[in-house]
Structure formats: C-alpha cells, structure tokens
Amino acid sequence: VIEIGQPEHSAVTTCAYCGVGCTFKAEMRGEEVVRMMPYKDGKANRGHSCVKGRFAWGYATHKERILKPMIRETIDQPWREVSYDEAFTFAAQKMRGIQAKYGRDSIGGITSSRCTNEETYLVQKLIRAGFGNNNVDTCARVCHSPTGYGLATTFGTSAGTQDFDSVEDSDVIMVIGANPTDAHPVFGSRMKKRLREGARLIVVDPRKIDLVKSAHVAADYHLPLLPGTNVAILTAMAHVIVTEGLVDETFVRERCDWSEFQDWAEFVSLEKNSPEAIAKISGVDAEAIRGAARLYATGGNGAIYYGLGVTEHSQGSTTVIAIANLAMATGNIGRRGVGVNPLRGQNNVQGSCDMGSFPHELPGYRHISGDAVRDQFEAMWNVKLNPEPGLRIPNMFDSAIEGTFMGLYVQGEDILQSDPNTTHVVQALSSMECVIVQDLFLNETANYAHVFLPGSTFLEKDGTFTNAERRIQRVRKVMTPRNGLADWEVTIGLAKAMGFEMKYSHPSEIMDEIAALTPTFTGVSYQKLDEMGSVQWPCNEKYPEGSPIMHVDGFVRGKGKFVVTEYVATDERTGPRFPLLLTTGRILSQYNVGAQTRRTDNVVWHGEDVLEIHPHDAEQRGIRDGDWVRLTSRAGETTLHALISERVAPGVVYTTFHHPLTQANVITTDYSDWATNCPEYKVTAVQVSQSNGP
Ligand code: SF4
C-alpha cells in the first residue's frame, strides 16, 4: 500500500497517449500526482479510461529525465550541461553556419504528434519564417500521411468524418487494419458495447485480433488477408456491390461526380476484380468476401474504422481511397452511424497535421504555393515566405547522405527508433553537422545529436490536443516544468537566437493567431474551450458549435470523387530465403517505442516484444513456445522470443515494436507509399530460425 495523501489541487486535462483523447482530472498534492481520475464530462471518454492514461504518468518524474540543456561539438564528445541561453546561442550559430555554407535549404525540422497544437504551430512557423524554407515534416509521415492524401482527394478534407458517439447508431461496423481494443481501448469498448447491442461486425486483418472472437463479441466475417493485399480485397468488395446492384445510386448521383463513378464502376466490375480472382491473391475465401460486401452494403448504417494496417503500405493512400469509394458507393457518409474513420495512434497526430507540419501545406491544409494564402501568413508573421514545398523526412535523410541537408531540429520524436531502415537513418544523422533533439529523455536519436533541449510533459504545460474525431481539447498545467521551460517556450528561445522573434505570453495567444489564420479554426479560443469543454473542427462562423459529423450536406471538395484503385503487389516478395510475411502492431499496456510506458513504475508492464508464429510454421523449424528465435529479412536481423499462436495464419508472423532492443525497424524495408512516402512497415518478407539468444 502506498501512502499518497489527499489531493490539494486539480485540473482537467487530456491524456497524452492515444488519439482517443480521454479527459482526466489530474489530482495533485503539491507537485506530485496523487491520481488521474477519468472525467465523466469528457466527451471522448465519458468517465472511462485505459491503463495507460490512468496509471502511466510516472515518466514525468522519472530519474532518467534530462532537465538541463546540453551541448557538444561532436557526437563522440561527452555532453556538457549549459544554460538555455548558451544552448540556444550554440544551436543558432551552428544552424546559421550551415546555411551560410550549404544554402538556405540545408536545414529543417520535424514536429511532434505528442506536443500541443500550439507547440507544433510554433515549430513550423520557426522553420518557414526563421529558417526561410519549408523543410518541415511530422511523425505523421510514418503513420497517417496516406489518410491525409486519400481523404483529401476523395472527400476534400484530411480527417475522419464522424464523432465517436456516432458508433451508437451503426448497424454494421467494419474494422480494417486496426486493433481498437489494444490500441484505442476506450473507443474499442464503446464499439464492443454497440456490437453487444446487435451491430454486425466485419474484421479485415491478417491476424485474429480480439474483436474477431472475445466474450460476447464475434465477427460475422473475418477476412484474414495476406499482408499487402488490402486494395485487392476492397476492390473485390466493390465488385460485389456494383455487379449485384447494391450501389446507393440516389446518393451517388446527388453527391458524387457521376462520370467518375461510372469509370470506377466499370473498373471494379472487371473479372480480375471478382472475389474468385482476388481470393487467389489475398488468400481470403471468395464467399467470405461476397458475404462481407453484401453485409456492408445492405446491413443499414455502415461505419468503417481503420488504422495503420491500412496506411503503412506501399499502397497506403490507394487503400484509403478504396475505403472512401466503398463508403460513397453505398451512401454511408454524412449522417450518424456511418462514415470513414481513421483511428489515430498518437494523442495529437490529427493536430500536428492540422497545424501545417507538412512541407507543402500551411496550417489548415492550404498549399504553400497559393499566393493569397501566403500573403495572409506573410502579413501576420511579417516575413516573406518561400513558395516552394520543402523536404519530407525521407528526402531529408537522403539529402543528408548526399551532403546537402546538414542541420535538423527534432521536437519530441525518436526518429532513430520510429523511422524505417535504421542503418540508413544512422548514416543520415551521422552526416549532419547539427542535430538538435528536444525530448524528455536521452533517446536513441540523441546519440547523434549536438544539442539536447529538455522537453516538458503534458502535466507541465498549457495547450490543446486534437483527437481522432477532430475534437480540440485543453491540456492544463498542473506541475511547474521540471526542466524550467515548456516546449513552446523552448522553441521561442531557439527562434530568438536565430534572429526571428516570436512574442507570446501564454499559449492562448498562439491559439488566437492560429484561429485568425485558419478558416476551420476561426471560432476556436481558450474561452470557448473552457465554456464548451471541447469543440470539433470545423468551428467557424458557419459552425460556431463545431462539427461532430462532416460532409452532411455536401462534400468539402464539392462532389465526392471516385478514383480507380488498381491493386499493385508490393515489391517486397517472399521467396525461398524469406518465405514468411512479418506484420506488426501494438499491445494495450505499451505505447509506441515505449519511451514513456517503459519509464513508468506504478504498474507492471509487458517486458519484451515477442514473435507470434503459427504452430505449423514453428514445427517446421523445430521452434517451441518461448524459444529464442532469429528473425531475418533482406534488411537485417534481430532476436526475440517465440510465442506459438493460431492468431496468425500459416505463412504470417507478427510482433510489436515497443522495445528498443527488439529493433523491429532494423528488419523493415525501404518501400513506402507511392503518394506520401509513408513506410511500408506492415509487410516484410522474413525467415525465422532457432537461436541461442541475442
Ligand atoms: Fe489515453 Fe487512449 Fe487510454 Fe484514453 S484510450 S486513456 S486516450 S491511452
């Protein structure tokens, strides 16, 4: 029993883990958290929470947190603690020196989906206005960038269509490439409640996730496709819907471009897209594909929820488009119970994208080449902006190795652990002359850094996060920043040292500037958030109370756009040396690369990543449950324990990526989404063999 005492003060704030965005009352005794109480008025969670939000906050006071800025000339030197001013001056001199030597475009930065909207906005502002280029990208590059592309192309906006409450009116729920009960547990529970009430369920996933069969819930259809065949399956479902006359023609004629629909319908009707033909590609029974398509099209309100199993593929953007096509063809858009809903992994991945973290877009998803938009920002920021899109993260790495991109500011992301092809990332980071890392801990990327700026936790700052349903919610400070400054103040300090002054006395002023510049945010203010609790964008003159559901009267782009989605097999192929396909995912108690959850000692966490392998494949290799196994791909190898399981089909293996020792990204390939460069994490040809351990 731990004596924690009674709380002395509290504040309502938002969980800093997943994109559900649960609200908590942080109850404090002095500077110590007594408990995090799920908040019953929280619109995303209604008093519920998962184990991470409720208990995994101990990292805020973990002994490994770095609380002082540090610098070093070269990465083989020891770190030297300095004042913030000295660190800012040192970093600015290096970055300016690089620009003098290699040109204006030789530096850039990466924003974080863990930080607040206000902090993200400031980083992209520093890069565009202070660095003078558009070399800004976000960690969404490696997760949901295809969502941005796919939904903007078809519907006209880069966001999910529904609020979470909408699921209460769903009759058919289709979950594709997502595992909500582990990765989005509070929303997963709401989904299960609706399923227990009688909604029907389709699961498209290579693995038997919990939803396929658990207490009181069983999928009507589980389509256990081979990793990499999403587009084939979705096109086969479209084939059934079109050829069996299940299209909602009234909706399509009124709301979509009819001519584009006809082209699409003609394409999906081809014999090569029939369930029988696709069964040979995907490994899924043709009758199951037919049954799932009929159920989605005719079962009432059909809602699609998807995750990284959709986006992290070489056809990630095509898959998002294929999902949007299905929803439009069946009229499942624009009311409660339906829609296309990306389940965002990180607390503020939606917000980081909204805030202009992409190299081609200013806040509000407006292209940097637009003169009128640039004029507006130039007037507010008092600078001349570069109209040329900047570099994406993979291009930054390639340019570093080529010797043209030499300085990087990374806020709140461990790119060495989270980006694909670790060897390539190491090579890129080692080539740079100045790497500035701003984080809570000396992460893996910091091994290659010259400047370390301490980060602050969500408990130590004010701001807002935007969850997966576009809900903007307040983050409220309950602790004095242990490192002295909140993240937004650090960015301002760095900007000033670089000669670009940004003056704000509180994050609310940053939000006022965002609202003044972003049409979907014009009605957002801290006062409104305090009054309403939260608000979903667009929130403006037209929708002063926000917008729980989008595309109600028409698509944001005007007419909904059907796009032909031709299945193209990934270049990553199995063969005699690498006969199995590896795919990856998460577990409930851990979070991403584990930077926070592994440093939380108030619960017992899962200790290691294991490799799930089907009994048939294990027996062929003489592998027993719990044995060490070597996992080898064309890119590299790692060692982990085997877990023999029928959750995966023969020919498929599965692991999580929470522990740095697993180095799952040493195994993954260089292939990426054709439209956005999102890495193809979900398909790697591998071999598994016995091992004596690491
Ligand atoms: Fe936090 Fe997500 Fe868990 Fe809610 S479901 S408590 S937002 S990790």
> Residue 666 in contact with residue 593, Cβ under 8 Å?
no
Predicted local confidence at residue 603, as pLDDT: 53
| Cα–Cα nearest to 564, from 233, 261, 155 | 261
185 Cα–ligand 1 center, Å: 7
Q: Is the CB of 473 under 6 A from ligand 1?
A: no
Q: Which of 2-6, 272-276, 633-637 has the lowest mean pLDDT?
A: 2-6
Q: Is the CB of 18 under 6 A from ligand 1?
A: yes
Structure tokens at 356: 């202009």
- Please state at what angle helix 316-329 crosses helix 145-154, rounded to 10 degrees: 40
For the residues 303-322, what does the mean pLDDT come to? 94
Q: Residue 56: which residues within 8 A CB-CB, separation 6 or more?
A: 17, 591, 596, 597, 600, 602, 603
pLDDT exceeds 80 at position 659: no
| 105-151: pLDDT as tens digits | 999 999 998 899 999 999 999 999 999 999 999 877 777 889 989 99
Residue 481 host element (H or E): none
347 Cα–ligand 1 center, Å: 8
> Residue 159 in contact with residue 503, Cβ under 8 Å?
no
- Residue of minimum CA distance from atom 1 in ligand 1: 53
Predicted local confidence at residue 63, as pLDDT: 87
> Residue 109 in contact with residue 120, Cβ under 8 Å?
no
Q: What is the DSSP letter of 334?
A: S
How much of the chain exceeds pLDDT 70, in percent? Answer: 95
For the residues 231-253, what does the mean pLDDT come to? 98
Sorting pLDDT into bands at 50, 70 and 90, what band is 305?
very high
Predicted local confidence at residue 604, as pLDDT: 56
Q: Which of 46-60, 317-331, 404-418, 567-581 has the lowest mean pLDDT?
A: 46-60
Among 39, 48, 50, say which to mutate for ligand 1: greatest number of ligand atoms within 8 Å of CB: 50
> Residue 102 in contact with residue 135, Cβ under 8 Å?
no
| Cα–Cα nearest to 171, from 66, 301, 284, 346 | 301
Q: Is the CB of 15 under 6 A from ligand 1?
A: yes
Sorting pLDDT into bands at 50, 70 and 90, what band is 2?
very low
pLDDT exceeds 80 at position 60: yes
Q: Side chain identity at 694, as an amino acid letter?
A: P
- Residue of minimum CA distance from atom 4 in ligand 1: 22
414 Cα–ligand 1 center, Å: 21
Is the pTM value of this prediction over 0.90?
yes
Q: Is the CB of 279 under 6 A from ligand 1?
A: no
Alpha helices per DSSP H over 551-650: 615-620
For the residues 67-83, what does the mean pLDDT come to? 97
Q: Is the CB of 546 under 6 A from ligand 1?
A: no
Q: Is the CB of 211 under 6 A from ligand 1?
A: no
pLDDT exceeds 70 at position 90: yes
Cα–Cα distance measured from residue 543 to residue 539, given in angstroms and rounded to the nearest whole number = 5
Q: Side chain identity at 27, as an amino acid letter?
A: E
Predicted local confidence at residue 62, as pLDDT: 85
- Residue of minimum CA distance from atom 2 in ligand 1: 18
- Nearest atom in ligand 1 to 591's CA: 8
Three-class SS of residue 522? coil
Cα–Cα distance measured from residue 584 to residue 657, given in angstroms and rounded to the nearest whole number = 7
Residue for token pair 């070399």: 135
Structure tokens at 400: 């570093």
pLDDT exceeds 70 at position 587: no
> Residue 279 in contact with residue 289, Cβ under 8 Å?
yes
Q: Sheet holding 407-411: strands in order across? A: 80-81, 70-71, 451-454, 434-439, 407-411, 107-111, 136-138
For the residues 653-677, what does the mean pLDDT come to? 78
What backbone torsions phi and psi does residue 3 show, to the nearest 5 degrees? -80, 110
How much of the chain exceeds pLDDT 90, in percent? Answer: 78
Among 48, 51, 52, 587, say which to mutate for ligand 1: greatest number of ligand atoms within 8 Å of CB: 52
Structure tokens at 632: 């080898």
Q: Which residue has the higher pLDDT, 559 or 140?
A: 559
Q: Is the CB of 22 under 6 A from ligand 1?
A: yes
| 267-298: pLDDT as tens digits | 999 999 999 999 999 999 999 999 999 999 99
Predicted local confidence at residue 1, as pLDDT: 39
Predicted local confidence at residue 142, as pLDDT: 74
Sorting pLDDT into bands at 50, 70 and 90, what band is 450?
very high
| 465-501: pLDDT as tens digits | 999 999 999 999 999 999 999 999 999 999 999 999 9
Q: Is the CB of 53 under 6 A from ligand 1?
A: yes
Predicted local confidence at residue 113, as pLDDT: 87
pLDDT exceeds 70 at position 635: yes
- Residue of minimum CA distance from atom 6 in ligand 1: 53
Among 18, 459, 588, say which to mutate for ligand 1: greatest number of ligand atoms within 8 Å of CB: 18
- Nearest atom in ligand 1 to 24's CA: 6
What backbone torsions phi and psi does residue 242 show, to the nearest 5 degrees? -75, -50
45 Cα–ligand 1 center, Å: 8
Q: Is the CB of 454 under 6 A from ligand 1?
A: no
Q: Which residue has the higher pLDDT, 680 or 243?
A: 243
DSSP string for 76-128: TSPPEE--HHHHHHHHHHHHHHHHHHH-GGGEEEEE-SSS-HHHHHHHHHIII
53 Cα–ligand 1 center, Å: 5
Predicted local confidence at residue 537, as pLDDT: 95
Predicted local confidence at residue 308, as pLDDT: 87
Q: Side chain identity at 337, as an amino acid letter?
A: G
208 dihedral zone (left: phi>0; alpha: psi -120 to 50; beta): beta
Sorting pLDDT into bands at 50, 70 and 90, what band is 431?
very high
Q: Is the CB of 20 under 6 A from ligand 1?
A: yes
Three-class SS of residue 201? strand
pLDDT exceeds 70 at position 664: no
> Residue 578 in contact with residue 632, Cβ under 8 Å?
yes
Question: Cβ-count burial of 574 within 10 angstroms (0-12 exposed, 13-18 middle, 19+ buried)?
Answer: middle
- Nearest atom in ligand 1 to 14's CA: 7
For the residues 607-632, what does the mean pLDDT come to? 93
- Nearest atom in ligand 1 to 38's CA: 6
Residue 689 host element (H or E): strand 684-690
Q: Is the CB of 186 under 6 A from ligand 1?
A: yes
